Structure 1
């Protein structure tokens, strides 16, 4: 009997599972503000950038404190900070922005890439800081639910990535060794955490950001998910 927890031998061409971060990787985190950019005014892009920065900061700070508020709550907290930082933006947009965040656009290549990888016979999953409700809504809005086998939310653990326990949600469920799982994220810090855990990592560097976390380098760097298909 084959031991499903044993890693494959070096040189194997395909992963047994392709696991994707959600926000920034499958779903465009700036789509919510972009839909209301005219109403937000000239600070729209800076507002969107700060919303994302503070959202992530709150996950790291609360995890380090040993505290937890779910990702929906932190997303709202970060948005409220942005309204304080940009007092010229109409606070009446709060509800519209939160509603838009629940229905973010996926990047255009996502459905075709997920379909192609699924055809390889591998498991296809999301591993995200988002709550299960947030992820279900985003997946439904994007119309990609039929391309996914599983959605893993750290909300089950009450701690955020890059905690090793977050990545272990996948290995424990699939009973696979970490190197047999290909992990994709647009967030370099997430790639560093996943690489430290042992995943085979592909950084989706959509913004041509500079390299960092040199001790935890990705196995591959691509500009979009289309770059995954050459190794599928």
Structure 2
């Protein structure tokens, strides 16, 4: 599915967690020790992490994303009492250096070789993002790594997406924004980005009035979009 003809895309901006980096990798690596409900723990961890970011933004009571990640894990453990809580620090250490998805390095290299500028725009705080990017060997790829920590608010506030247009001094429609989170794609679409939903798990569309320009099952198709 080609992007609609308009201004040429000069910048590709990526969400980090769930789009470039596998948010469930930390639990998956420790699943045997966590027990039979490890997957449930991972799902709740992610769910609460995002929920806390939205609630904090609505209340204007910012806490950095690493703190929310810790709080969310503690809640997940409380909700999954069968999981071995002694692995808490092991899981947090693994989360600080999450695996990237297999196709990510080559896709980013291809885009870069084709002259595109690349950036991350993430809820993650700078230390989290630096650790993940370095662990994946992507520290020489991005022209910018933008964190909401600068603004002390979270997506989907429009000011967050404006960080990318300010950074690269382009109009929103010149930016292709990629995220695996449909709510993030909706926010970026509302802002004016050309958006690509990386629907890795085949989820149904929840925001039909804020449709992405394209839907992909992973990042591999991105290099073929016009």
Task: Bin the TM-score by the shorter chain.
Answer: over 0.9
Higher mean displacement: 114-123 or 17-26:
114-123
What's the counterpart of residue 180 of structure 1? Answer: 174
Cα RMSD for the two superposed structures: 1.1
Q: Is the 8 A contact 2:172 2:193 kept in 1?
A: yes
Question: In 1, are the aligned partners of 2:35 and 2:84 still within 8 Å (CA)?
Answer: no
Which residue does the alignment assign to 1:190? 184
Q: Give how far 1:18 is off.
A: 0.1
Q: Distance in 2 between matches of 1:120 and 1:231?
A: 13
Any stretches of 5+ residues in structure 2 without a counterpart?
Answer: none
* 8 A Cα contact 1:40 1:90, kept in partner: yes
Q: TM-score, normalised by structure 1?
A: 0.94
Paired position in structure 2 for 1:5: none
- Cα distance in structure 1, aligned partners of 2:126 and 2:213: 29
* Runs (5+) with no aligned partner, structure 1: 1-9
**Using the alignment, how far apart are the partners of 1:204 and 1:164 within structure 2?**
21
CA contact (8 A) 1:22 1:128 kept: yes
Taking the TM superposition and a 5 Å limit, the aligned residue runs for 1:1-232 are: 11=5, 14-231=8-225
- Paired residues of 1:13 and 1:231 also in contact (CA < 8 A): no
Q: Do the aligned residues in 1 keep the contact of 2:40 with 2:80 (CA within 8 Å)? A: no
* Residues 70-95 of structure 1, C-alpha deviations (whole Å, 9 max, x = no match): 00000000000011111122211110
Per-residue deviation at 1:14?
A: 4.3
